[in-house]
A and B are shown apart, each in its own frame.
Chain A
Amino acid sequence: MPRGDQWRLLDSGVASGPYNMAVDEAVMETHRRGLVSPTLRFYGWSPPCLSVGYFQSVTRDILLHRCQEAGVTLVRRPTGGRAVLHWGELTYSLVVAEDDPRLAGGVLAAYRRVSSAIAQGLSTLGVTPQLREPWHHRGPPARNGACFHSTSVYELTVAGRKLVGSAQLRRDGVLLQHGSLLWKDEGQEILSLLRFTSEEERHAAASHFQEQVVSLRQLLGEGVDWESIVRSLRQGFQEVLGISLGEGQLIPEEEALAKDLVDGKYGTPEWNLRK
């Protein structure tokens, strides 16, 4: 896999859930084959999409008819964790060799480095997120299927409220970490798409969500736009990882692979509804 400090930046704009997941997996594969540099990608989602974790049970956690009524599509991620509503947020993905010295040292070390880079970037916008350190008390595990309902180690919070949620996949020596930065909205609509055992539980989750989740717009007002977020995060990654990010495009192999992955995996009910 290509080494060095020249990494690729992809500012992909918005696309469908299946395409977004297909591109992340395609980049993993082309990087593994040595065709492309380590890659940092930013993207959004349209139409709105609920992404569920690799092992997450759609039957148990998701109200599919509510998704349909709300015009929300569904895709299963290659990464684990719980559901994220992608609307009014910005997603990042990072693909790099597991043993790249900048991210080496294991799962937590990689999380820490990526979160530090994001925090450094956001600090240039005037936000100072904290990394949730491992020794902090985790509290009881969330009972519902929403990612932003709880905070994991080295995820980013502001005054205890979660701003960025991330997940990591390791496959054949390549690391993919992608995550969701709440931008325009805290995404509370997700609660109407999740299955709860009672209305009481739903109300409790809604109240918890309001207290525990925050968006950039809440922190910075209306002015913060896509370009300024991408510029700040790019700077954070460059400074913290000691890399140079050059703007690039998907190569034809990635486009072809992504199309195959949409047609054969991420765009199919066999994959998305398999659990």
Chain B
Amino acid sequence: MNPKDCKYSKGHTWVRVAGGEAIIGITDYAQQQMGSILFVETKEVGSQINQFQPCGTVESDKATSDVMSPISGEVVAVNQEAVDAPELLNQDPYGAGWLLKARPANPKELDDLMTAEQFEAATSQ
């Protein structure tokens, strides 16, 4: 189930904005498609990320995929636990498997993203 408090990109990433901070991760759909995730890397703290541009890379036992950021902003935290234990992205993609925290540059970018219902409709086609 995709949480309703998140917004979703066509690139299969999610963002949850609260208190001026955005948390970013990959969706449950994406982790299922990827299979067992073995490696994760993200942009570093202090770097800029841009909407729909790569903010990280994940590798599973089947494929490597760029992680496309759902928003623009500055990276303020990286989930080192997920970098050290990438299986967290499979086990808990909307919780312990988050990837980045960022300071959003433009709140209006959220309008370009899908709601949980829209994302579910898009991925069930």
Contacts and interface: CB of A to CB of B under 8 A. Distances in A.
A191 to B, nearest CB: 22
Contacts of A169: 63-65
Contacts of B11: 172-173
A80 B33 contact: no
Interface stretch (B54-62, B71-79, B92-100, B107-115): B54-62
A19 B52 CA distance: 28
A167 B41 CA distance: 18
B59 A53 contact: yes
A167 B38 CA distance: 14
Interface stretch (A104-112, A200-208, A245-253): A104-112
Contacts of A152: 61-62
Interface in B18-46: 33-35, 38-39, 41
Contacts of B34: 107
Given A107-B35, A172-B68, A54 B62 contact: no
Given A55-B57, A80-B39, 5 more contacts: A107-B60, A108-B35, A111-B62, A152-B61, A170-B64
Contacts of B64: 53-55, 78-80, 167-170
A55 B66 contact: no
A146 B61 CA distance: 14
A153 interface: yes
Contacts of B41: 55
Contacts of A172: 11, 52, 54, 66, 68
Given A107-B34, A107-B35, A171 B62 contact: no
Given A54-B57, A107-B34, A153 B39 contact: no
Contacts of A167: 63-64
Interface string B79-111: 000000000000000000000000000000000
A262 to B, nearest CB: 20
* 7 nearest A-B pairs in the assembled complex, by CB-CB distance: A80-B64, A80-B59, A55-B39, A168-B63, A170-B65, A171-B66, A107-B63
Contacts of B62: 107-108, 111, 152-153, 168
Interface residues of B, number: 19
Nearest to B53: A172
B35 A55 contact: no
Contacts of B66: 170-172
| Most central of B38, B52, B54, B59 by chain A CB within 10 Å | B59
A79 B68 CA distance: 17
A171 B54 contact: yes
A170 B57 CA distance: 10
Nearest to B35: A107
B33 A106 contact: yes
A79 B39 CA distance: 12
A257 to B, nearest CB: 17
A55 B61 contact: no
B13 to A, nearest CB: 12
Interface string A148-190: 0000110000000000000111111100000000000000000
19 contacts: A53-B64, A55-B39, A55-B41, A79-B63, A80-B38, A80-B59, A80-B60, A80-B63, A107-B35, A107-B63, A108-B35, A168-B62, A168-B63, A168-B64, A169-B65, A170-B63, A170-B66, A172-B11, A172-B66
Nearest to A174: B66
